[in-house]
Amino acid sequence: MNLKAIIAIVAITALPLCAHAQQPKDAPKAPKPTKASAQRVVQIISADKTKTKIYCDIAKLGEQIDAADQKKDAKKVEELFQQADDLGQKLGPEYVALVDGLSELGPDSKEGQDIGAMLGSLDKLCGK
């Protein structure tokens, strides 16, 4: 999976998490993710076969979301977003915090690319 696809999947996963946790304007934003926090998430997921499978399931949902979005099937996109959100919660608070914080980074930023590459290393565990 290429870097743009990884960032898209992470962003797709982040959208329902962000929408679910909408807060007033004066509420603090999610902290900007760091390479260290991304590396920690990669270690947590790669060390646990169940979490690795969940991550791979989220990646598959990301591909389905992209396909449904291209077909302009908003209902299917929303349904798949919800499934991705539910699975993301099962990966733990570190993953949720990382994904929430990704909205603070641009996909073209150096940090965003570095974190995307780290998360992309998990794709090798998905058997693709």
Q: Where are the domains of the chain?
A: 3-19+33-126
The residue among 28, 58, 22, 64 whose CA lies nearest residue 41 is 58
Q: Tell me, what's the pLDDT at 26?
A: 53
Residue 25, burial from CB neighbour count under 10 angstroms (0-12, 13-18, 19+): exposed
Q: Are the CB atoms for 80 and 61 separated by under 8 Å?
A: yes
Q: Tell me, what's the pLDDT at 50?
A: 96
Q: Tell me, what's the pLDDT at 31?
A: 79
Q: Are the CB atoms for 80 and 16 separated by under 8 Å?
A: no
Q: Tell me, what's the pLDDT at 28?
A: 61
Q: For the chain (length 128 residues), average pLDDT per consecutive 10?
A: 51 47 54 90 95 93 89 91 91 89 79 85 82
Q: Tell me, what's the pLDDT at 23?
A: 47
Q: Tell me, what's the pLDDT at 49?
A: 95
CA distance 54 to 51: 5
Q: Are the CB atoms for 69 and 77 separated by under 8 Å?
A: yes
CA–CA distances in Å: residue 30 to residues 5, 43, 62: 23, 21, 22
Q: Tell me, what's the pLDDT at 20?
A: 43
Q: Tell me, what's the pLDDT at 52?
A: 95
Residue type, 128: K
Is this prediction's pTM over 0.85? Answer: no
Q: Tell me, what's the pLDDT at 25?
A: 53
CA–CA distances in Å: residue 126 to residues 55, 64, 97, 111, 116: 8, 16, 22, 24, 16
Q: Are the CB atoms for 119 and 44 separated by under 8 Å?
A: no
Q: Tell me, what's the pLDDT at 115?
A: 87
